[in-house]
Chain A
Amino acid sequence: MKLLIVDDSMVMRNHIARLSSDGSLPEVEIVGLAANGRDAVAQARRRGPDCITMDLTMPEMDGEACIGELARLLPRARILVVSALSDKATALRAIRRGAHGFVHKPFTEEQLRQALRELMS
């Protein structure tokens, strides 16, 4: 499973990358880290990820627009929204654009791993 991590926070990107590459999810192979929506679309085009973790509030192109673009570009890819957004209606709108699941920030290590497992199943 090729994983693309999209988050404008470097700390969060590295955190998710560390959690998904420490051997607990052996099927995951990280193919890219993107700091904004535009970069995410460019990387997705080149690397064709199977799974994407997606922040919602980002510069350049926000998560909602990016999800729409990725869903069009890679209809088979599964998208997990990872966001601190407390407004549920906004999150639901983003999911409607083509995502498959949602994990609230902050999350525990096991929460994220479990969500990724379910996403890939």
Chain B
Amino acid sequence: MQPKLGARARNYRDLVLAIALFLVLDLGVLVFNFYASGRIAADTSKINASGELRMYSQQLTKAVLTLAQETRDGMPFQTSQAQITESYQNFSKALTALSERQDANPLTRLLSGASIEQEAELLQAVATYWQPIDSALAPVLHAMSRQIPPDPIDVEITVNKLVARNIRLMQLANDLTQHLEQQAMASTRQLRTIQVAAIMLALVNFAFIILKFVRALRQSDRAAEAAREETEEILDTLREGLFLLNRDGTIGSQRSASLERLFDRELRDGERFAGVLGGLVSAESASVAMEYVDLLFHDRIKGGLLGQLNPLDEVALSQTAEGARETRHLSFDFAQVRREGKVIALLVSVHDISEKVRLRRELAGAEEQARGEVELLLAALDQEPALITAFLDAAQAKCLEMNEDLRQVEASPRAYAGMIDRQYRAVHTIKGEAGLLGFGHIEREAHQVEEELSALRGRRAVNGNDLIPLAVALNALRQQLDRLREISAKVRGYAGKPVLDPLDALLRQVERFTRETARDLSKEVEFEAVATPLSRVPPALSQLLREAVPQLVRNAVVHGIESADERLRAGKSAAGRIRVVVEPREDDLVAVSVWDDGRGICADTLRHELVALGRKSKEEVAQMNDREVVAQLFEPGFSTATAVNRHAGRGVGLDLIRALLTRLGASLRVSSQPKHYTKFTLLVKA
């Protein structure tokens, strides 16, 4: 992916070296240029001086010849004198200048070597030739400076010297001029060559820099392109949704392709997360989620420590795509992206967890079912098979009747009301018996049917659709009963279960039911069952013990037995006492009595209740005697319990018993003393 650090450093080092070489080269050429142009200027001025030597030598010769002529002719010599002085001075000046400009620079010596020496030799030759002329001219110049005529002999000597040497001197000056010109040309050539070479080198260097730079640029471009392609490939392949959420609340442009599938919509660049979320989940969820996101952008907050508060760790989508059967669930995970300690963005990953959620729910459902079945199994193991069969026969027959009733009920409010009442009684019996036998699961399903019936009871108008939840609940109850039948059939297959005396078994059910009811209502109860052994348990007695006695015991626990505090204040033991007695009576009758030492039945309290419940007017209750008032307890729908629970408050129970007694041809007696006891005695044919 990225060039290694060593390679990158090498690239940069080459570039830096190339640039340094370029600068050094430029500087070198500049210095040489400066030096060479200085030399060329010096050469030019020397060429001039050399030309002057030639010119003034000629001029001097001419002027001295003129002076000789004038001296001989005795003519005035002022003009020639001035020319001689000027030529002499200018020649001397040019010669001095040439000698002084002799270049001692070691670089020049290095570059021009032999040429310099030749120049010096020529100059030396000029000086040597000039020396005798200079000496001969001295007395002439001396005389002229004092404005006296020079000695003709001195003039003659000078003329001789000049004539003899002028030609050679001029030749030497010519040679020097030529030599200097050649030298200047050589310098110029040298300068040109060096300049050309330097420019070539600079161009090569420049090309090298450009090449290096372009190559580095292309390399980094390729690396960037490869990285981008790799990122895109990853983002296209990822199954989870991945994106950067910027500080300004927008979704970053780099995001996984699956995001649009998860959100079931297209995403535009720069779209706001709040808007996207608002379209996915409920307004409330979106608002809490944005609060959370906002907090994650606080630098002080540690994202890892806020995971448990993530409101989007499992969120149901408010809109499900057409054709989808179940609600989809997504999970959002947020990770802070920090730069120098500051949160600059959130990396958000999105998963579709619908399958996980569905499996979890199914597992919970399966667990609940398994628990119910184990409960059924345990209860079935604990029961006499005959009792279970009797219960199932009765319950399933009732369910069948209820189902038929539901199907065939006439569509009128009055018919509905009657049906609901009938169903209520039937399911209440099933519930009571299931509770008595310890089939909690069935009891709960029956309670559910009761709940549905209660909801319908309160309605003014009922139509067919309203009955659907009832039918569903009833179906669930029937399934539980079927399941119990299967289980009990299996249980019966196992041998070794001790056979109990049927009456004893029935009384044990009552005892257990009493204890469960008391425990549910947090009341302390001591239960006692007394039975005279019977040769056989008549079916009517069996039915009374299964259906009626549990209702009476339940009433005793719910309504009769006071709370422990109340009992202690009344001077009673904290635990209430309930006694069930089964004994044969005269005339081939068996008596079953349920006695409790609770608060008893107070006719006046009942009168108040009747008025309060709106069942009777004040005048009516005033005219009723105590027997008639107590008899109201057995009317449908009368209840004195304030809260509806599994055990009380539905107003069925005693009216059910009355119906059962009628069916069995049994009779009932109630005796009670307020604050002391209540006793229900049921008499049935043996």
Partner of A91, one of B300, B302, B304, B309: B309
Say whether B305 faces chain A, with CB atoms less than 8 Å apart: yes
With A95-B301, A118-B302, A119-B302 as given contacts, are A103 and B308 in contact (CB-CB < 8 Å)? yes
Looking at the complex, which of B72-80, B267-275, B288-296, B512-520 is the stretch in contact with chain A? Answer: B288-296
Complex Cα distance A31/B306, Å?
25
Q: Which residues of A contact B309 (CB under 8 A)?
A: 88, 91-92, 95, 102
In the assembled complex, the Cα of A118 lies from the Cα of B307 at a distance in Å of 13
A80:B305 contact, CB within 8 angstroms: yes
The verdict on B649 contacting chain A, using a C-beta distance below 8 Å, is no
The complex places the Cα of A103 from the Cα of B308 at a distance, in Å, of 7
Q: Would B291 and A89 count as touching, CB distance under 8 A? A: yes
Q: Which residues of A contact B308 (CB under 8 A)?
A: 102-104
How near does chain B come to A93, taking the closest CB pair, in angstroms? Answer: 8
Q: Does B311 contact A (CB under 8 A)?
A: yes
Interfacial chain B residues near A88, Cβ < 8 Å = 288, 292, 309, 311
Chain A residues 94 to 121 lying within 8 A of chain B, measured CB to CB, are: 95-96, 100-104, 115, 118-119
A100 partner residues in chain B, CB cutoff 8 A = 300-302, 305
A96-B295, A100-B300 known; A115-B288 Cβ under 8 A: no
Residue contact A101 to B311, C-beta cutoff 8 Å? no
Smallest beta-carbon distance A55→chain B, Å: 15
Q: Return chain B residues, CB-CB under 8 Å to A119.
A: 302, 305
A26 CA / B302 CA spacing, docked (Å): 22
Inter-chain CA distance A104–B310, complex, in Å, is 12
Chain A 78-96 near chain B by CB (<8 Å), digits 1 or 0: 0010000000110111011
Write out the residue numbers on chain B whose beta carbons fall within 8 Å of the beta carbon of A103. Answer: 305, 308
Instruction: Please tell me if the beta carbons of B295 and A101 are within 8 angstroms of each other in the complex.
Output: no
- CB of B288 within 8 A of CB of A118, answer no
Give chain A residues whose Cβ lies under 8 Å from the Cβ of B306.
95, 101-102
Shortest distance between the CB of B449 and any CB in chain A (Å): 32
**Chain B positions within 8 Å of A115 at CB level:** 305
Q: Which of B288, B295, B302 lies at the interface centre, i.e. has the most chain A CB atoms within 10 A of its CB?
A: B302
Interface SS of chain A: helix, strand, loop or mixed? helix
Contacts of A102 in B (CB 8 A): 305-306, 308-309
- Residue numbers in B under 8 Å from A104 (CB-CB): 308
Interface size for A (C-beta < 8 A) is: 16
Q: Are B301 and A101 in contact (CB under 8 A)?
A: yes
Q: How far is the CA of A96 from the CA of B295 in the complex (A)?
A: 7
0/1 string, B276-288, CB within 8 A of A gives 1: 0000000000001
Q: For B295, what are the chain A residues with a Cβ–Cβ distance below 8 Å? A: 92, 95-96
Q: How many whole Å from B331's CB to the nearest CB in chain A?
A: 15
With A and B bound together, what is the CA distance between A17 and B291 in angstroms? Answer: 32
Does A101 contact B305, Cβ atoms closer than 8 Å?
Answer: yes
- Separation of A119 and B311 alpha carbons in the complex (Å): 21
Question: Do most interface residues of chain B lie in helix, strand or loop, or is the interface mixed?
Answer: helix
Which residues on A sit within 8 Å (CB–CB) of B304?
101, 118
**What total count of A-B pairs have CB within 8 Å?**
44
List of A residues within 8 angstroms of B291 by Cβ: 89, 92-93, 96
Q: In the complex, A50→B593 CA distance in Å?
A: 73
Q: How far is the CA of A101 from the CA of B302 in the complex (A)?
A: 6
Minimum CB–CB distance from A102 to chain B (whole Å) comes to: 5
A16 to chain B, nearest CB (A): 15
Name which residue of chain A comes closest to B287, CB basis: A89
A121-B371 Cα distance, complex, nearest whole Å: 46
Contact digits for B607-638, partner A, Cβ 8 Å, 1 yes 0 no: 00000000000000000000000000000000
Hey, which chain A residues are within 8 Å of B311, CB to CB?
88-89, 92
Task: Determine the residue in chain A with the shortest Cβ distance to B313.
Answer: A88
Chain A residues with Cβ below 8 Å from B288 are 88-89, 92
A98 to B306, CA, bound (A): 13
B611: shortest Cβ distance to chain A, in Å?
45
Min Cβ gap B282→A in Å is 13
The complex places the Cα of A114 from the Cα of B653 at a distance, in Å, of 58
CA distance A93 to B287 in the complex (A): 13
CB-CB under 8 A from A91, the residues of chain B are 309
B343 shortest CB reach to chain A, Å = 13
Closest to B284 in A: A89
The answer to whether B305 touches A92, judged by C-beta atoms less than 8 angstroms apart, is no
- Rounded to whole angstroms, the CA-CA distance of A120 and B168 in the bound complex is 107
Say yes or no: B305 contacts A118, CB within 8 Å: yes
Report the bound CA distance from A100 to B292 in whole Å: 13
Interface residues of B in 640-654 (CB under 8 A from A): none
A104 to B301 alpha-carbon distance, docked (Å): 16
What 0/1 pattern do residues 9 to 25 of A give for CB contact below 8 A with B?
00000000000000000
Interface-central residue, B288, B292, B306, by most chain A CB under 10 Å: B306
Minimal beta-carbon separation of A9 from chain B (angstroms):
19
Give the distance to chain A from B334, nearest Cβ to Cβ, in Å.
13
CA distance A42 to B24 in the complex (A): 74
CA–CA, A96 and B292, complex, Å: 9
Distance in angstroms from A20 CB to nearest chain B CB is 15
Which of B288, B292, B300, B304 has the largest number of chain A CB atoms within 10 A? B300
In the bound complex, residues from chain A placing their C-beta under 8 Å from that of B305 are: 80, 100-103, 115, 118-119
Chain A residues 49 to 97 lying within 8 A of chain B, measured CB to CB, are 80, 88-89, 91-93, 95-96
Residue ID in chain A nearest B291 by CB atoms? A92
Q: How far is the CB of A77 from chain B (nearest CB, A)?
A: 11
Query: How far is B305's CA from A102's CA once the two chains are assembled, in angstroms?
Result: 6
CB distance from A109 to the nearest CB of B (A): 16
Can you name the residue of chain B whose Cβ is closest to the Cβ of A94?
A: B309
B302 contacts A92, C-beta separation under 8 Å: no
State A104–B300 Cα separation when bound (angstroms).
20
Q: Min CB distance, A105 to chain B, in Å?
A: 10
Query: Given the complex of chains A and B, what is the CA–CA distance between A89 and B285 in angstroms?
Result: 10
Q: Take A101-B306, A102-B306, A102-B309 as given contacts and tell me if A92 and B292 are in contact as well, using a CB distance cutoff of 8 Å.
A: yes
Q: Report which B residues bind A (CB closer than 8 A).
A: 288, 291-292, 295, 300-302, 304-306, 308-309, 311
Subset of 18 A-B contacts with CB under 8 Å: A88-B311, A89-B291, A92-B288, A92-B292, A92-B309, A93-B291, A96-B291, A100-B300, A100-B301, A100-B305, A101-B302, A101-B306, A102-B305, A102-B309, A104-B308, A118-B304, A119-B302, A119-B305
| Residues of A that sit less than 8 Å from B by CB | 80, 88-89, 91-93, 95-96, 100-104, 115, 118-119
18 more CB-based (< 8 A) A-B contacts, given A100-B302, A118-B304: A88-B288, A88-B292, A88-B311, A89-B288, A89-B311, A91-B309, A92-B309, A93-B291, A95-B309, A96-B291, A100-B301, A101-B305, A101-B306, A102-B309, A103-B308, A104-B308, A118-B305, A119-B302
* 9 A-B pairs closest in CB distance: A101-B305, A104-B308, A92-B291, A102-B309, A89-B288, A88-B311, A101-B302, A91-B309, A88-B309
